[in-house]
Structures are given as structure tokens and as C-alpha cells.
Amino acid sequence: MPTVLVTGCDTGIGREFARQYAGAGWDVIATYLDPANRIADAGPMRHAPLDVTDPAQFTALKRDLGETAIDLIVSNAGIGLDTGKLGSLDFGYVRAMYEVNAMGPLRLVETFEANLVAGSMRRFVAITSRMGSIALNLSGGHYGYRASKAGLNAIMRSLAIDLFERGITVASIHPGWVDTAGGGGNAAVPVAESVRQMREVIRCLGNHDTGQVYDYRGFALPW
Ligand SMILES: NC(=O)c1ccc[n+]([C@@H]2O[C@H](COP(=O)([O-])OP(=O)(O)OC[C@H]3O[C@@H](n4cnc5c(N)ncnc54)[C@H](OP(=O)(O)O)[C@@H]3O)[C@@H](O)[C@H]2O)c1
């Protein structure tokens, strides 16, 4: 069975990815901001701490995993959304969003590139947001979150080019407006359904998809 590493399994979409892949028989490496949140009721699974802003935790996880082949990495950990209005912006939080949402995935792929190459699927997927699409921004605001996800998309595009020779397919997926803590109230898509459909998008990814942004139903999104 393939091996998947998922970040941000404490709650929400990451936790559901870990549970569904474990349910499908995959070997799951679930990472947590707080390892006390480990998933206890989804069968055998590896658990590890990983704050994606902490280089020392990346080093420790790399040391633990060694040359373990990883078929798929789902870079899910993220924070958002509000930083206030112009005139009262929280620049500390703007910076934090960039560090978690954009730099975190970059450090993740840099750390585990060799593990992906050792796998047979070779897929690196980041959970982005349509709020990172400049073309789809018709309502303004959310400076930090939009910039962090647009930055992530730019990073993913470069990764797609740079990792193509190594056979790694890179794709960003918008999960929909999902009923998690991150999605806030009134979200339209149940988390189990969003993840089920994203797993199908991931399953169907081919080399020609590398560098693209999709939504959870597989529709391409503009930059
Ligand atoms: N829900 C939506 O409608 C929606 C829409 C578009 C995109 N997304 C994206 O989907 C992803 C998952 O979000 P979600 O909706 O599942 O929200 P969530 O429940 O808040 O999940 C985010 C997870 O990331 C973890 N996390 C936060 N900072 C971290 C760090 N420094 N290192 C490692 N993990 C960290 C959180 O841990 P704690 O809970 O312990 O803080 C949490 O488990 C995010 O990238 C988000 O931007 C969500």
C-alpha cells in the first residue's frame, strides 16, 4: 500500500485526510502541531509532531523517517483568515500566515524531496484556497491570507518546474468552503465530502497536471 504524509492533522481537513487514507489501507504518517491531538481511533498510523514553522522539528522528523519512501505528501497545515481592515492591520498575523501557509510547504518539500523520489507515486499536493487566486479576487480584503496562498501557488509552480525531472507531480487543490474551524460558520461542503473528492483528484493526477491549481471537484482555477 502507498505511504502518505499529511501535515496539520490536529483538526479539520488534515485529520480527515489521515483518517480516510488509513481507512483505505494506506500507511499514514500524520503530523500534528500538538501531538496530544493524535488520532487514536483510525487503526495503525504513525504520528509525529511538526510545527511547520520550526526547522528543528523538520530535522527531527527527517531523522526519524530516514530514507522511508513517501508516495504522497499532503501539505495541509494552514492558518487564516482575518487580519483586520486597512488602518488596523495585524502585521504580526500577516507574517505568521506567510510563514505557515507558504514557507511551511516549501520547507516540507525541501526536507522530504528524496523520500518522495523513493516512492512510486511521487506526488506533492498543497491545500491552497481560491482566495489566493488574483483573478478571482472580486471582494478585496483578507490581505495576509490571500497573499500567503498566492505565494504558495507561486511556490508550487516553481516546484512543478524544478521537480519535473525527478518525476514529482506538484498540484494545489482548493478544498471548497468546508465545515471546519478554518472554514468558519455556514460552510457549504462537509469535510468528509471535500476530502473524498480531493482524494479522487489526487488519484487522477498525471504528469501533465503538474503546476496546476484545481478545486476539490477537479475544475482548474485561474491564478
Ligand atoms: N475550511 C475551508 O473552507 C478552507 C478553504 C480554503 C482553504 N482551506 C485550507 O485548508 C487547510 C486546512 O484548513 P481547515 O479548514 O482544516 O482548518 P483547521 O481545522 O484550522 O486546520 C488547520 C490545521 O493546521 C494546523 N496548524 C496551524 N498552524 C500550524 C503549524 N504552524 N504547523 C502545523 N500545523 C499547524 C492547525 O492546528 P491547530 O488546530 O492546533 O491550530 C489545524 O490542525 C488550510 O491550509 C486552509 O487554509 C480551508
- Domains in the chain, number: 1
Q: What is the mean pLDDT of residues 139-156?
A: 97
Whole-angstrom CA distances from 153 to 21, 82, 96, 138, 186 are 25, 20, 17, 18, 26
Contact by Cβ (8 Å): 111, 58? yes
Residue 190 burial by CB count (10 A; 0-12/13-18/19+): exposed, middle or buried?
Answer: middle
Specify the DSSP class assigned to residue 121: S
Does residue 95 lie within any of the structural domains?
Answer: yes
Does residue 8 lie within any of the structural domains?
Answer: yes
Give 105-117 pLDDT, tens digit per residue: 999 999 999 999 9
Does residue 32 lie within any of the structural domains?
Answer: yes
Please give the pLDDT value at position 124.
98
Please give the pLDDT value at position 106.
98
Nearest CA to ligand 1 atom 15: 182
CA distance 106 to 53: 11
Distance 9 CA to ligand 1 centre (A): 8
Q: DSSP for 153-190?
A: HHHHHHHHHHHGGGT-EEEEEE--SBSSTTT-TT-SB-
Does residue 221 lie within any of the structural domains?
Answer: no
- Check which CATH number belongs to the domain holding 179 and give it: 3.40.50.720
Does residue 141 lie within any of the structural domains?
Answer: yes
Per DSSP, the three-state class of 222 is coil
Task: State if residue 187 touches ligand 1 by the CB under 6 angstroms criterion.
Answer: yes
Task: State if residue 76 touches ligand 1 by the CB under 6 angstroms criterion.
Answer: yes
Please give the pLDDT value at position 84.
84
Give 158-215 pLDDT, tens digit per residue: 999 999 999 999 999 999 999 998 887 788 899 999 999 999 999 999 999 999 999 9
Q: Which domain holds residue 31?
A: 3-215
Does residue 222 lie within any of the structural domains?
Answer: no
- The atom number, within ligand 1, closest to the CA of 51 reads 32
Please give the pLDDT value at position 42.
85
Please give the pLDDT value at position 134.
97
Does residue 207 lie within any of the structural domains?
Answer: yes
Task: State if residue 34 touches ligand 1 by the CB under 6 angstroms criterion.
Answer: yes
Task: State if residue 33 touches ligand 1 by the CB under 6 angstroms criterion.
Answer: yes
Does residue 99 lie within any of the structural domains?
Answer: yes
Give 8-17 pLDDT, tens digit per residue: 999 999 999 9
Distance 165 CA to ligand 1 centre (A): 31
**pTM greater than the 0.95 cutoff:** yes
Please give the pLDDT value at position 95.
97
- The atom number, within ligand 1, closest to the CA of 126 reads 45
Give 20-68 pLDDT, tens digit per residue: 999 999 999 999 999 999 999 988 899 999 999 999 999 999 999 999 9
One-letter identity of residue 103 = M
- The atom number, within ligand 1, closest to the CA of 128 reads 7
Task: State if residue 151 touches ligand 1 by the CB under 6 angstroms criterion.
Answer: no
Task: State if residue 194 touches ligand 1 by the CB under 6 angstroms criterion.
Answer: no
